[in-house]
Structure 1
Amino acid sequence: MPDLQAAISKQQIVRHLAVKFNADELSLADWSMTKLNWKASNTVTDALYRITGKVLVDRMTLDWSFILKVIIPAPETDDPNHYCYWKREPLLYQSGLLKTLPEPVRAPQCYGVEQGDDGTWRMWLEEITEHLDGPWELPRYGEIAEMLGQFNGAYLAGLPLPSEPWLCRGFLQSWTHECDKYDSGIARLEETWAQSRVKELLPEGTFERYLSFCQNRELLLASLQKLPKVFTHNDAWKPNLFPSAGRGLTMIDWSNCGLAGVGEELGRYYGLSLNSDLGHLPDKRAFADDMAIRYCGGLRKAGWRGDDRLAKFGFMASAGIRCGMMFPSLFEQLSRLPETDEVPAKWNERCAVALHLLELAEASIEMAGGAT
């Protein structure tokens, strides 16, 4: 951080403050910079910094803050078709596209985008201060599902789809094929499922069901491409969502955004929520049904009058495909657990999530005309 702080000039800060306060003249007082204790979930975000200080505007001394997001070159994602194309978010903010998002969704305001001599990009963003600390109550997840439906539905009800070439087109194809690089094939071996620990964790017949899913996965991916297209965030989960008291929803981290089939946004949100916060739910199918109803309600609120089955297929297929990542991950971790150690109780919860997602995948395969 010291090197970055030394590279930031007073003139830079003044320039971005002029945008923030819409002022031609202002005087910068003291300022400070702190690196946030935050770990990126992708390879393109280097760090987040909070820059704060005071400024004199029209004879008034005002407090101000920025979030400075630093994006680093990532050759492995230097392709607009990659789900995490490293230049996407800086280009997105430069384009102004996020200023035209339909209600109730918004993105943080951007006060400047610049590229450093080292090839990194720096985005000077609004600090979002309104957020809900602690665990969410279950109804909150449904409220957000409805808002995601409103957001997506606006593009089905007349709002033009963006067409920029750097938007992601085929998030799930890129993401699943990237996950395949780390799949040793352990979940497709019969001897893996014959282990006593696996038999205790998963019901008989799951191996055959998983193999059937693998054989039909490409069918699901191809079927998702045929759905009506909407503009999507593609990484909607609790750390990136800031619901407000006025029922608005601020979404941060737009590096995966693009065009996807209706319902895919909900599937991503649902799968991530189960994996991170809600794996303990005893009746996951009822929860999935409620989420689908709320999302379709949002689509209707936005003005879409299409077939809800299309959205439900998009939801179930995109959520269900996640099981193809979960089972291999579970078995890889289990193989590293000493035979003398007890399997942690948390594993029953994770296996229940994987099985539930497999059920959603099977239902969507049947809807797509594939084997069950």
Structure 2
Amino acid sequence: MTDIDLFDGEARDVLGGRAYTLEPLVHNPRNGVTAGVWRVRAGGRSAVLKVLTRSKAADGRWAASNDPRHWNYWRREAHVYESGLAQTWQPYGIRAPRLLASVERADGDVALWLEDVAGEPATGWTVERHVAHAHRLGAAQGAGPPGDRPWLSRRFLRQYVGSNTLGQELLDDDAAWRQPLVRDHFPPGLRREMVRLHHDREWFLEVMENLPRAFSHLDLWPANVRTDGADGGAGSNSVAFDWAFAGDGALGEDLGNYLPDSVFDLFLPAARLPAYAAAAYAAYLHGLREGGWRGDEAFVRLGVCASAVKYDWLTALMLARAGEEQLDYGGGRTVSAELRYQERGLTLSFLAGWAAEARTLAPRLGFPEAPSGRWPPPDGNR
């Protein structure tokens, strides 16, 4: 049986008919677990086809893993859908696309046929819709984890951050910080704070691993969320996609990822981030209480703030790529390098504030002080 015959049989079972059109959808083409993502149409029906694989060639950090606890375990998303775990947040207003079929192919790949959700992508949402989503996320995570499964990720943050090493040697390279894009668009003092964050990385990871736990999506950002329904307003439910990293996380970790990622890829302006983050955090905390969580709010705040460590790698990456063409997520089009460096620089500076808050808050909650103390002394961008 050829690949065409295999696809034709799957499409016929899911959609009926015999004439199909395929539209490639934006995804991370570097990830070794994803063979491709397409919208498939037949007559008036459509579905999304996502093929999971472990045989695709990929760079080291994006290579598919056979370890069910690894952050990039190749078959995790199929398990999440097949088990029904993807719908565990549905009572609180966040669901996953419906699984139409999961097909084990003869070559070892898994074809996930998913509902083609018609709602508006969160990449175009207003701040109010993002805040409403934060409330739903809080309610879902406040209800408690649904129980462990042997294929859910563990220590995601440590593995993910540790796999991102490109450009780290440039953090102490004066010439790298004098590149025009960096020099002209990174705020004063950012170098000192980002070097400090890198120096404290192990401390931050230890804090995150010892906070209250929650079942977490771990790749929750606007490109993976949309409104449930084409005409939904600010109060409409959400649909979350791409559950490939799902597993154990700290309470607040998903929110700590979602907020800066709303700006890093230019979905919202960085100037709105402080007010947006404050409103979303208040909504998330309110949702936690509604969901039944009764713990100390300070631990939630620490989880959000300490999650800044996830972006320890991003400053080094931007130093390494300051002379390259700047592409959007998926690599389909170019974006303004000046705008990207300006917005990311401001967002990294905001995250430096989160990191500082975490260093102050953690010892009050019984954690040791961060090793950097007051190091390094203020010295402009150094």
Per the normalisation by structure 1, the TM-score is: 0.82
Task: Describe the SS at the equivalent of 2:124.
Answer: coil
User: Is 139-148 or 272-281 further displaced after alignment?
Assistant: 272-281
Establish whether residue 210 from structure 1 lines up as the match of residue 194 from structure 2.
Answer: yes
CA shift, 1:206, in A, is 3.7
Larger radius of gyration: 1
2:45 maps to 64
CA distance in 1 between counterparts of 2:17 and 2:343 reads: 53
User: Is 360-369 or 202-211 further displaced after alignment?
Assistant: 202-211
Match of 1:176 among 161, 167, 188: 161
CA shift, 1:193, in A, is 3.9
2:269 maps to 280
The C-alpha deviation readout for 1:297-356, integer Å capped at 9, x for no partner, is 1111212122221111111111x214412211221123569xxxx983542222112211
> Over aligned residue pairs, what C-alpha RMSD do you find?
2.8
2:148 maps to 163
1:330 maps to 318
2:355 maps to 361
CA shift, 1:147, in A, is 1.4
1:79–1:72 distance in 2 versus 1, CA, 3 Å: same
CA distance in 1 between counterparts of 2:71 and 2:289 reads: 28
Q: Counterpart of 2:245 in structure 1: which amino acid?
A: N
The C-alpha deviation readout for 1:28-55, integer Å capped at 9, x for no partner, is 444414132434353321212333336x
Per the normalisation by structure 2, the TM-score is: 0.80
Given that 2:136 and 2:287 are in contact with CA atoms closer than 8 Å, whether structure 1 keeps it comes out as yes
CA shift, 1:126, in A, is 1.3
Structure ranking higher in strand proportion = 1
Task: Describe the SS at the equivalent of 1:8.
Answer: helix
CA distance in 2 between counterparts of 1:281 and 1:196 reads: 20
Structure 1 segment 264-275 matched on structure 2, within 5 A: 264-275=253-264
1:59 maps to none
Task: Describe the SS at the equivalent of 2:271.
Answer: coil
1:20 maps to none
1:39–1:343 distance in 2 versus 1, CA, 3 Å: closer
1:15–1:215 distance in 2 versus 1, CA, 3 Å: same
Match of 1:91 among 65, 79, 89: 79
Given that 1:216 and 1:365 are in contact with CA atoms closer than 8 Å, whether structure 2 keeps it comes out as no
CA distance in 1 between counterparts of 2:152 and 2:349 reads: 32
Given that 2:121 and 2:225 are in contact with CA atoms closer than 8 Å, whether structure 1 keeps it comes out as no
Q: Counterpart of 1:81 in structure 2: which amino acid?
A: R
Report the count of equivalent residues: 342
1:196–1:4 distance in 2 versus 1, CA, 3 Å: closer
CA distance in 1 between counterparts of 2:154 and 2:281 reads: 23
CA shift, 1:113, in A, is 1.3
User: Is 80-89 or 279-288 further displaced after alignment?
Assistant: 279-288
Match of 2:23 among 31, 35, 47: 35
Q: Counterpart of 2:28 in structure 1: which amino acid?
A: A
Establish whether residue 149 from structure 1 lines up as the match of residue 138 from structure 2.
Answer: yes
CA distance in 2 between counterparts of 1:197 and 1:111 reads: 46
Unpaired runs of 5+ in structure 1? 18-27, 55-62
Given that 1:322 and 1:357 are in contact with CA atoms closer than 8 Å, whether structure 2 keeps it comes out as no
Match of 1:238 among 213, 222, 231: 222
The C-alpha deviation readout for 1:172-226, integer Å capped at 9, x for no partner, is 111101112x234101335544668755444554433333222211111111111
1:81–1:133 distance in 2 versus 1, CA, 3 Å: closer
Percent identical among aligned pairs is 26
Task: Describe the SS at the equivalent of 2:244.
Answer: coil
Structure 1 segment 193-208 matched on structure 2, within 5 A: 193=177, 198-202=182-186, 204-208=188-192
Task: Describe the SS at the equivalent of 1:144.
Answer: helix
CA shift, 1:76, in A, is 4.2
Establish whether residue 350 from structure 1 lines up as the match of residue 354 from structure 2.
Answer: no
Higher RCO structure, 1 or 2 (CA under 8 Å, sep 6+): 2
1:269–1:206 distance in 2 versus 1, CA, 3 Å: closer
Task: Describe the SS at the equivalent of 2:163.
Answer: helix
1:212–1:92 distance in 2 versus 1, CA, 3 Å: same
The C-alpha deviation readout for 1:132-158, integer Å capped at 9, x for no partner, is 587322212211111111121111xxx
User: Is 193-202 or 324-333 further displaced after alignment?
Assistant: 193-202
Unpaired runs of 5+ in structure 2? 56-62, 326-335, 363-368, 375-382
Q: Counterpart of 1:170 in structure 2: which amino acid?
A: R
